[in-house]
Structures are given as structure tokens and as C-alpha cells.
């Protein structure tokens, strides 16, 4: 397992973090011409969505979830009145894996401290984990698959200064990855799309 260097410093603010990451070198997915894809949305949002890794469109545009899966994610969020002003969107892995393969455990482990720092800086109340990769990275003790844990609330304290003072506890909900929904587009009751539309309503109720 390659262990990532911790981000050198705790960054003073989100803008510093983004600037530092733009110069990221030596990471496991660094390859000629690939970009570091960090975020879109509001860095002060109370809701954070964490996906897997950038795809081709994201690599080209330099923003997460801007391809087909991203359009569907936006539609899910919009169904309860959420958009880039109320949500912050990022990925576990900051660069596109070759041919969009699933990032390996060691790649995920390498980028994880950066994600933790991002969570600390944005300081969301609610974190949505889109798909299995984000769930494995952030809820590693949950051995059940996404189909079992989606829509459930977990309370976690990661991405904080730590301590047992009850500060910075976050509500975490796994949801199906929008790419999975693109492959399973049926809207039938109890199907993955229908369930996701229920899940986002539960998120909206917590947010209000």
C-alpha cells in the first residue's frame, strides 16, 4: 500500500487548498495531460457530495460531475431544490484513472488525506457518498453493500480536528452512484432510481 504524504499543511482556507492542489505532483494517477479535478459548487455549502473519480468530461473541463452522470446528479439535487449554491461536489480520487477503471485501494488511500482536509475546510453538515468507492473510503467498517446501506444516516466525525468534544459531527448518507442509475434507468417503485429520489427527499428534510 502506498501511503500518501499528508497534505503539508492544514490549509488556512478552501482557496489555498485548491491552489496548492492545482500543483499536485507525484500522485499515483498523475499522467501526461491529466488534470487535478477538485470541486464545483459552494465551498460554504452544508451539503457535500463525494463521488469516485473524474471521468473523461471531468478531466477535460476540470470540474467533477459535468458529464452524463453529473447531469443526472444535478437533476436528483434539483428535484428537491438543491443546486451549486447549496451543494459542494467532489470525488475521492482527484484524477481520472486510465480508461475510467475503478481506483485501487492504494490509490484511494493516497488521496484520502486530501479529501479529509477538504471536508474539514468545507465543514459540511451532511455528506452524501455516491457509490461504493466513496462508501468504502469513508465508511470502511460498513461491510454491507451500497444496496443495503443507501438511504441510511450514519454519524461520523472525520475531517475534523478530532477530539471527543462532539464538535464537527457529520451526517453521512450513502446513495447510489448516478452512473449506476444511468445503467438502471427504470423508474419502477422500489427500483434504484425511485429509491434515490426518496433518499434525496430525506436529505432535504434534514437540511431544512
Applying CB under 6 A, the residues found at the interface with ligand URA are 51-55, 58, 64-65, 67, 69-70, 91, 179
Smaller CB separation from ligand URA, 53 or 135: 53
Pair 29, 54: CB distance under 8 Å: no
Cα torsion 17, 138, 65, 200 to 10°: value is -120
DSSP string for residues in 8-25: SS--SSHHHHHHHHHT--
Smallest distance from the beta carbon of 65 to ligand URA, in angstroms?
4
Smallest distance from the beta carbon of 147 to ligand URA, in angstroms?
18
Which residue's Cβ lies closest to ligand URA?
A: 51
CA dihedral (39, 40, 43, 44) positive or negative: negative
Smallest distance from the beta carbon of 165 to ligand URA, in angstroms?
33
Smaller CB separation from ligand URA, 67 or 159: 67
Which set of grid coordinates corresponds to residue 124?
459540511
Smallest distance from the beta carbon of 208 to ligand URA, in angstroms?
27
β-pair partners for 48: 88, 127
Smallest distance from the beta carbon of 33 to ligand URA, in angstroms?
17
Smaller CB separation from ligand URA, 41 or 64: 64
Smaller CB separation from ligand URA, 3 or 182: 182
Smallest distance from the beta carbon of 97 to ligand URA, in angstroms?
10
Q: CB neighbours of 140 closer than 8 A, spacing ≥ 6?
A: none
Smaller CB separation from ligand URA, 49 or 126: 49
Q: Biggest alpha carbon distance in the chain?
A: 48
Distance CA 57, CA 64 (A): 9
Distance CA 54, CA 11 (A): 23
Smaller CB separation from ligand URA, 10 or 71: 71
Amino acid at each position: 500500500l502506498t501511503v500518501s504524504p499528508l497534505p503539508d499543511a492544514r490549509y488556512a482556507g478552501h482557496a489555498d487548498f485548491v491552489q496548492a492542489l492545482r500543483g499536485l505532483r507525484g500522485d499515483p494517477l498523475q499522467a501526461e495531460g491529466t488534470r487535478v479535478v477538485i470541486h464545483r459548487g459552494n465551498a460554504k455549502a452544508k451539503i457535500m457530495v463525494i463521488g469516485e473519480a473524474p471521468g473523461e468530461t471531468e478531466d477535460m473541463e476540470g470540474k467533477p460531475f459535468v458529464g452524463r452522470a453529473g447531469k443526472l446528479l444535478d437533476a436528483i439535487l434539483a428535484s428537491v431544490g438543491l443546486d451549486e449554491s447549496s451543494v459542494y461536489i467532489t470525488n475521492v480520487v482527484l484524477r481520472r484513472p486510465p480508461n475510467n477503471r475503478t481506483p485501487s485501494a492504494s490509490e484511494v488511500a493516497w488521496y484520502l488525506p486530501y479529501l479529509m482536509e477538504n471536508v474539514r475546510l468545507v465543514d459540511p453538515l451532511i455528506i452524501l457518498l455516491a457509490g461504493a468507492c466513496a462508501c468504502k473510503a469513508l465508511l470502511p467498517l460498513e461491510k454491507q453493500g451500497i444496496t443495503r446501506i443507501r438511504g441510511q444516516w450514519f454519524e461520523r466525525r472525520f475531517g475534523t480536528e478530532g477530539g471527543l468534544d462532539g464538535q464537527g459531527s457529520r451526517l453521512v448518507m450513502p446513495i447510489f452512484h448516478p452512473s449506476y442509475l444511468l445503467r438502471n434507468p427504470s423508474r419502477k417503485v422500489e427500483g434504484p432510481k425511485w429509491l434515490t429520489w426518496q433518499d434525496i427527499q430525506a436529505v432535504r428534510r434534514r437540511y431544512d
